Structures are given as structure tokens and as C-alpha cells.
Amino acid sequence: MRVILRWVLLPLALATAALVGAIVLLSQGVTGERHLRGSIQPTPIPPEIIASRETRQTQILFGDLHVHTTYSGDAFVFSLPLMQGEGVHPPADACDFARFCAELDFWSINDHAEGLTPWQWNETKQAIRECNAVAGDPANPDLVSFLGWEWTQSAPVGRGSQRPHFGHKNVVLLDTEEDAVPTRPIGAGEGGLFDAPIPGSVWALLRAGITLGDLGNLRPYLDFNRFTRDVRNTDACPDDVPVRELPSNCIEGASTPEKLFAKLDDWGFRSLVIPHGTSWGIHAPPTAELGVQLEAGRNDPARQRLFEVYSGHGASEVHRELVDFELDEAGNRQCAPPRDGYLPCCWQAGEIIRGRCGDTEPEVCDARVARTRALALERSAYSVVSGTRPGDWLECGQLPGGSLAAFEYRPNMSAQYGLAVREPAQGEAGAFRFGLIGSSDNHKARPGPGYKETQRKAFGDAYGLRRDWYDRISAPGPPAPEPVEEPGLAGLLGVGFERGASFYYTAGLVAVHAPGRDRHSIFDALEERHAYGTSGPRIQLWFNLENAPGGPALMGSEVGMDEPPRFVVRASGAFEQLPGCPAHTTERLSAERLERLCLNECHHPSDVRIPIDRIEVVRIRPQVTGDEPIGDRIDDPWRVFPCAADGSGCEVHFEDTAYDGSEEILYYVRALQTATPAVNGSPMRCERDAQGRCLRARACPAAGPDFDPDDDCLSPVNERAWSSPIWVRPPG
């Protein structure tokens, strides 16, 4: 017995103790390493290439104002092996990708401020300065790099609540010098990304569990644990203290837009605040609406000059009435039936259960269906029905007929809603005057990756658990004929996550009409809203008011006049892309870096343009009293003009003879290219009946048994550009 104790139990006890100790060390990130900003390739794009680019673009400059590196907590998680990640991408990767892979004219870094430690912020600032230092002559650089961050807020309720939903906003700064930028980025919370409501002990166990699930590849998890430990060990800044009096080593928060604007005012530096991802249902509750952000102090017209209408997370442009629930005679919510092409997910949940009734008595089956729909209104519909696959849900929750639209669409958070809504009592701040732009929201340090429709997971943000982890926690299990009363992780992390991956696209772009390539010219053009967005291709677009009293007015202008406005639109399609990368890129990046960063596919334009198919005009009459129905104020499309199919571009003129100077009207245009294949161009790839209803769906997940890593899920799409509006209003 003593021999057994000595040679078997004692070593087992020591091994157990060592394992427990290792778990503690791993969970605390003690052995992990911080990731430095990386090394930027020191040679710029040749001046002759920049000159030829300007000749092609006639001083339309293209950029991306929404880029994440793995200094963002979510991006770091998605880089891990358990998420099929490709490893860390620090700020230097974003600089080199913007310059060499995408060949942008400008970009900004926008990591989540809630998890940016002082050390990371310093690394970020230095990386942006180094990227600008490589760019050559500041008056004519090959690339302008802006400093910024993302303010990330979500809440489960909308207007009338003590905790309204404000969504996500990017802050972009004009300057980069140490004495001209805030000491800290400003997040939406008072603490770090990995603080409340999850207790520290739970985070420790979670991190240890993640780590021990992949013992053969520990390094990425150790580094992630170090990342979270650094964030959790950084104190939140005290509240109600002037920003210049706060300590430098804290994480600063502003829980509402008015607090964010007040802090930016306190600093006094020029900045833009750009709402984005507004209609994306993964974080915006169904009751969210933009009008709540026009209440006192919540809109800063001097900073909120732009609206990200499109990103790799989809379009947030159009407003439609999408009805998920109705009120019965007692005022209780009940699931609404499909109407106007829209299928509520609560309704489809009931239909899935109905299909499982078999020989059950009709009244029993009807009761199950009603119970299912009631539960689906209370929580995620995916968690109410067991054993489903993404295709079972057809197109529920999606904008009917919406091209490249955001997942689980929230119409009252759309650009059109925001341009139409008014709070008259707030004066000038009671109306949004957004210019429309696009960007990427890429989480792999790849600014502007929409130049080619390929590599949907690397150039887009489709994420999913590795198959072994999927089988552990997300596999749907067997289908049950009854609704699930107590939900687990499988419904949300499985079907919901897989379905959402079908609605990630490559990237959008922001374009500016600027007098020069320098930093101030670009920032001034953005501030003046002489800007537009595209769904990725470098479409050229001009939209002018021809008979403005002071001469032709560019997109983004506000003009007082009492005669009918006359407009001109000119558009040219993007150049078709050649395979691979141009010589000036392959000469500057090593073969290894070219493959790791660009995936051997760069912006490489030919001399052939894709034809413009048509020009669509949208007219919006903003509310006057604030009570008019929003849908009645939007004409979309108001006019449609077909274009020649020869690729020579398109020019159209139109006039609004109904305008009489009695109320403000705004106009913007869409230029649509002829259809070309696009990643997730038809997210659910439906088989349809003669009325266009989805009968069967084939989703494009990034995990699970239906995931095909070689399938880019291409479908034809009319890629497009959205102009900023022109506001025409009564004189004076």
C-alpha cells in the first residue's frame, strides 16, 4: 500500500497540483505577452503611381474610416484558433494593407475604446505617426492615416426608457501630434471591456477553459489572457472630472452621447463622430430608433456630419415598416403574421414547430405553435426551437428585397429614418444632417478589402467556432416537437451565429471630392460632406445642384432657394480587377508578407470600367412638427434613370417642379453598376415561388456542418454608390 501511495498517488497528486497551478497562471495571463504595434514597410508607393491614380480618379480620393486591429477585444477573440482565426494583426498590418494591398488614399484606426489600455493607446498613436512618416511629402502623401477609436454602446430598450440604445460611433481626429490628441480614447462605459456584469472569477474560469481546450497551441491563448488581464487591471477614470485633470493611466468612459460630446468639447480638438452599424439587429433591439438621439444634448451637428450607410456588416440605408408584433385587445404583444414580404422570426419559429406536429391533434398543435411564438417574442427565436439549421429560418427578420442589407434589420435606425426624423424643440440640433459614407468595419487590420470579391472570411468578418468547439457547445441536437422553455447556448451560438455569417460582406469605402491629397484637404471635405459611400468598388460619382443662387453646389450642401431645383448626376463604374498584385507592390512586400497580409490579391485595376446600370434618386421631406409618419416623408425611389451599357459612364439631369420653397426637401442619389458576383450577394440563397417568397434557403455559415471553407457564396449584385444629400430649403 505504501508503495502504491508513493509511486502512484503521490505523483498523481503532484501532477494535479501542477495542473491547478497552471490553470491559475493561465487564467491570469501571467505568462502571456503583449503585442507590439509591429513594423511598417518603410518604402511608400512610387510617386508616378500616385500621379496616375489621381488622373484616373480626377481628385476623388478613396478611404476607409472604420478599421479594427487585434487591439480590439472582439478582434483578438476572433483571431484565436478556436474561432478559426489567422492570428494577431497589430496596427502596422493595417498601415501596410491600406498602402499596398488596398492602395487607399486615406484610412483611420478605430479600435474599441472600452478595452484600449494606456499602453495600447500609446502604441496606436506611434503606429499612426510612423505610417504617416513613410507617406512622403505631407502636401502630397501616398497615404493619409487618421487616429481614432470606436465608442461602443448597446442597450436592450429604446425610446422612453432610462437606458436608451445609442449604438456605435467612430471618433476620427484631424491631428496626430501628442499635444493635439486626447490623452485617452473615450469608451461608452465607465470601466474596461472585461469588467461588469461578468465577475472576475467567471472570466478567469472562462479564459482557463478556452486555453485548456487547445493545449497543443497555447501561445495565442496565453497572449489573450494577458490582454484581458491588462484591461481588467486598469482602473476606470473617475467621473465628472475635466479630461485634462484625469490621470493618464485609466480607461475613460462616457455612457451617453452628450457626455462623449462634452468630453470632446473639453479637449477642443477637431474631430468627427460617425454613427455606424445602426440597423444591425445583433446589437440594436427591435424598439431602437434614431429619434431618441435628437433629444437634448445628444446630437452635435458640428461633429456628427457623416453616417456610415454601408460596411462589411451590411447596409443601413432604407426605411420600411417591418412589423414583428401586434397588440391584442388587452394591450399584450402577440406575434404578427407575415406582410408585405416580411417574415417575423417569431412566426417562422411557430411554423417550424407546426411542421413537427405529425399526428398530433390540431388543437394541441395550435397551442404549441402559439406558445412557441409567444416565447420567441420574449427572447431570441433561435433559442426557442431545438435542432434547427440556418436554412430552416428562411428569410425571417430580414429586410425584404434589401440588397446587401444588415442582419435582422432595424428600420428605425436607418439612414432614411434619421434624415426624415425631427425634434423641433431642439432647434438645429433637432435634425440630423448626415452625409452618407461607406467603410469596412474590418476586424483583421485590413482597411478597404472590398476591391475583390474573394476570401470572404479574411476580407470580411464572418466568424465561427472551430468544428470541435462547435460540436462541444453549439451543435443543435435533435429536433423536439415542443418549444424550448429554458434556452441554452446552442440556439444562439449555433444557428444565430451561423445565420449571421451569411450577412457579412467584404467592405465599403468612403470617397471625398477634395482639392488636394493632404490631411487637411481630406478632413475638410469630410466635414463639409463633399463625400459619398460605395459598397466596395471605386465608383466615381458627382451630384450637384446646378441652379443654386451662389453657383453649382456639391453633394452635402445646404441651399436656400424658392425656385424648383435642377440637379446633375455623373457616374462612372469601377475598373475591372486583374488577378494578383501589381509590380510596385510585389517589389516592396516580401512574398511571405504579401501572402499573410494581402492573401496574394491586391487592388489591381485594369483599363476597363464596369458599366453603370442606372441612377436612382431618393427624395425625403423631413418632419416639420415631429409627428408626421416617417414612411410618408420618404420617396424611394423618386426617379429612376437607365444608363447606357457600353461602360462610357452616365450623366442625367432632373428637376423637382413640385418644390415651391414652402418646406425643406433633401435629395440623394444611388449609382448602380451592372450586376457582378459578390460575397453573400444573396445571403440565404433562396429558392423562390412566383411571388418571390422564399421556399427553401441555403445559408452561408462560417461554422458547423454546413460550412464550406472553399465557398465564397457568390451571387450577382448591383454594387452601388450613395451620394451625400443636398438639402434645399426656403430662403433665409
Query: Beta-carbon neighbour count of residue 595 at 10 Å?
Result: 12
pLDDT of res. 16? 39
How would you classify the pairing of strands 252-253 and 435-438? Answer: unpaired
pLDDT of res. 14? 37
pLDDT of res. 212? 64
Top pLDDT among 11 and 681 is at 681
- pLDDT digit string (tens) for 89-98? 999 999 999 9
- Are residues 184 and 266 in contact, defined by beta-carbon separation less than 8 angstroms? no
Q: Which residues of 126-161 are buried (b: 16+ CB within 10 A; e: fewer)?
A: ebbebbbebbbeeeebbbbbbbbbbbbbebeebeee
Least confident of 443-447, 634-638, 702-706: 702-706
Least confident of 33-42, 370-379, 444-453, 601-610: 33-42
Q: What is the mean pLDDT of residues 165-169?
A: 94
pLDDT of res. 57? 62
Q: CA distances (Å), 180 to each of 127, 147, 173, 250, 444, in order? A: 16, 11, 9, 19, 28
pLDDT value at 723 more than 80: yes
pLDDT of res. 665? 98
Least confident of 40-54, 337-351, 574-588: 40-54
Q: Which residues contact 127 (CB under 8 A, 6 or more apart)?
A: 37, 38, 40, 90, 91, 92, 95, 109
CA 305 to chain centre: 18
pLDDT value at 467 more than 90: no
Phi, then psi, of 671 in degrees rounded to 5: -110, 120
Provide the percentage of residues in the chain whose pLDDT is more than 90. 74
pLDDT of res. 614? 98
Query: Which fold, 47-314+406-451?
Result: TIM Barrel (3.20.20)
Q: What is the mean pLDDT of residues 233-242?
A: 90
Q: What is the mean pLDDT of residues 305-312?
A: 98
- pLDDT digit string (tens) for 335-387? 999 999 999 999 999 999 999 999 999 999 999 999 999 999 988 899 899 99
Query: Beta-carbon neighbour count of residue 535 at 10 Å?
Result: 29
What pLDDT band is residue 210 in, cutting at 50, 70 and 90?
Answer: low
Question: What is d(CA 565, CA 427) in angstroms, rounded to the nearest whole number?
Answer: 25
Q: Which residues contact 612 (CB under 8 A, 6 or more apart)?
A: 539, 571, 572, 573, 643, 649, 650, 671, 672, 673, 674
In three-state form (DSSP H/G/I as H, E/B as E, the rest C), the secondary structure along 81-150 is HHHCCCCCCCHHHHHHHHHHHCCCCEEECCCEHHHCCHHHHHHHHHHHHHHHHHCCCCCCCCCEEECEEE
Least confident of 295-304, 379-388, 420-429: 379-388
pLDDT of res. 357? 96
Tally helices (H) and strands (E) across the chain.
Answer: 18, 31
pLDDT of res. 208? 58
Nearest-5° Cα angle at 184, 181 to 189: 135
pLDDT of res. 158? 41
3-state secondary structure of 232: helix
pLDDT value at 99 more than 50: yes
Top pLDDT among 396 and 491 is at 396
Strand runs (DSSP E) across 471-563, as ranges?
509-513, 531-534, 540-545, 553-554, 558-560
- What's 528's DSSP letter? T
Identify residue 591 by its one-letter amino acid code: A
pLDDT of res. 285? 87
pLDDT value at 492 more than 60: no
Which three three-digit cell numbers place residue 316?
443601413
pLDDT of res. 23? 47
**Bridge partners for 15 per DSSP:** none
Strand ranges of the sheet holding 306-311, from the earlier edge strand across to the other edge:
314-315, 306-311, 435-438
pTM of structure: 0.92
Least confident of 19-33, 137-151, 320-334, 614-628: 19-33
Average pLDDT over all residues of the chain: 89
Q: Which DSSP string corresponds to 260-316? A: HHHHHHHHT--EEEEEESTT-TTTS-TT--GGGGGSTTS--TTT--EEEEEETTEE-
What pLDDT band is residue 194 in, cutting at 50, 70 and 90?
Answer: very low
Longest Cα pair distance anywhere in the chain, in angstroms? 104
What pLDDT band is residue 444 in, cutting at 50, 70 and 90?
Answer: very high
pLDDT of res. 656? 98
pLDDT value at 200 more than 60: no
First-to-last CA distance in the chain?
A: 100
Question: What is d(CA 168, CA 304) in angstroms, rounded to the nearest whole number?
Answer: 12
Q: What is the mean pLDDT of residues 383-401?
A: 93
Listed by start position, the domains of the chain span: 47-314+406-451, 325-396+475-501, 536-729
Which three three-digit cell numbers place residue 56?
484616373
What pLDDT band is residue 491 in, cutting at 50, 70 and 90?
Answer: low
The region, left, alpha or beta by phi > 0 then psi within -120 to 50, assigned to residue 408 is left
pLDDT value at 481 more than 60: yes
- Are residues 497 and 534 in contact, defined by beta-carbon separation less than 8 angstroms? no
- What's 498's DSSP letter? H
Q: What is the mean pLDDT of residues 32-39?
A: 83
Top pLDDT among 696 and 192 is at 696
What pLDDT band is residue 682 in, cutting at 50, 70 and 90?
Answer: very high
